[in-house]
Amino acid sequence: MQSITMFLQEGPAQTTNYMILGYVVIFGMMGLYGISLWIRQRSLRQDLAILQDLDENNVDS
Amino acid sequence: MSQKSRLLTVLDVITLFLLLVATWMVFFYAPMERVMGQVQRVFYFHVAAGWVGMLGFLVAAVAGGIYLATANRKWDIVEVSAVEIGMVFALINVVTGSIWARPIWNAWWTWDPRLTTATIMLLVYAAYLMLRSGIDDPSRRARFGAVYAIIGFISVPLTFFSARLFRTIHPIVIGSNQPGATGQFDMSPLMVQTFLFSLITFTFIFIVLLWHRIRMGQMADYVEELKLKIGDQ
């Protein structure tokens, strides 16, 4: 019913809240994915540093 | 491990700038749609996210094919990276579509052909990631993943053409001729410009994210190699 009355009204429908919610989701999900990439990359760099140290120690001994 | 390329840094900056401009165009350049009001502005990034999702799955299928032909591990990394990014953007597409549908269709969700096929597509690729995580042997995982990425790609054209082939209430903005669609609108020139700019921006976002994700995959491979090497010593 709401959608039918929307098309009968003169002005545009009041849908600003849905637009805001939409863009919160878009930027939120893109941001979360970016953060997840950054965290995973940082964790791999830490692992790599530790493993390279271990590898060098093994070669020395 | 290779250092971050200067080109990637430049691409990061360009992409961020494009995203800022696209966001400005969505909110201040494109006019408000006369019937739906502000929620129509979700359309620009909703479609662009759907495009990136499908592009990701296409790249994954191509990379899968190349992996099967060459058995080069780097194509497996490209494939899984593209699927991961495709999943994120396909999910953004579905969720924002649902948010748009609430005031326009008066429902968060309906089992319309387009929505149903989009959900199937998401589930197909979620299963791809689950399948990969369940296989320990890297070469077997890559082989299965490649075959799955190629076969799973069938769900992509099915989703794209579902709104054109079946009777649906989902609007088709480009080349529209769907009489039953609810929320259909004609784009003004400013809307078309904003729409095309958003598509270009999201394509840049895809390229940048894919590059970063591939670098991460290569680093993960190198870490695994080192672990095995140290374990053997």
**Which chain B residues are closer than 8 Å to A21 by Cβ?**
99
Mapped onto helix, strand or coil, the DSSP state of residue B37 is strand
User: What are the Cα distances from residue B51, in Å, to A58, B34, B138, B181, B212?
Assistant: 49, 26, 30, 20, 19
DSSP lists the bridge partners of residue B37 as B33
Q: What is the mean pLDDT of residues B207-215?
A: 97
Give how far A13 is from chain B: nearest CA, Å.
Answer: 5
Per residue in A23-43, pLDDT (tens digit) is: 999 999 999 999 999 999 999
Provide the ipTM. 0.90
Phi, psi values for residue B112, rounded to 5°: -75, 150
pTM value? Answer: 0.91
CA nearest to B169, candidates B186, B184, B185, B182: B182
Indicate the residue type of B47: V
> How many other CB atoms are found less than 10 A from the CB of residue B159?
26
Q: Do B36 and A13 touch (CB under 8 A)?
A: yes
Q: Tell me the β-bridge partners of B33.
A: B37
- Chain B interface, best mutation among A7, A15, A47, A54, by max B CB count within 10 A: A15
Q: Is B46 exposed, middle or buried (0-12, 13-18, 19+ CB in 10 A)?
A: buried
Domain residue spans in chain B? 6-30+40-171+189-232
Could you read off the pLDDT of B85-133 as tens digits, one per residue?
999 999 999 999 999 999 999 999 999 999 999 999 999 999 999 999 9
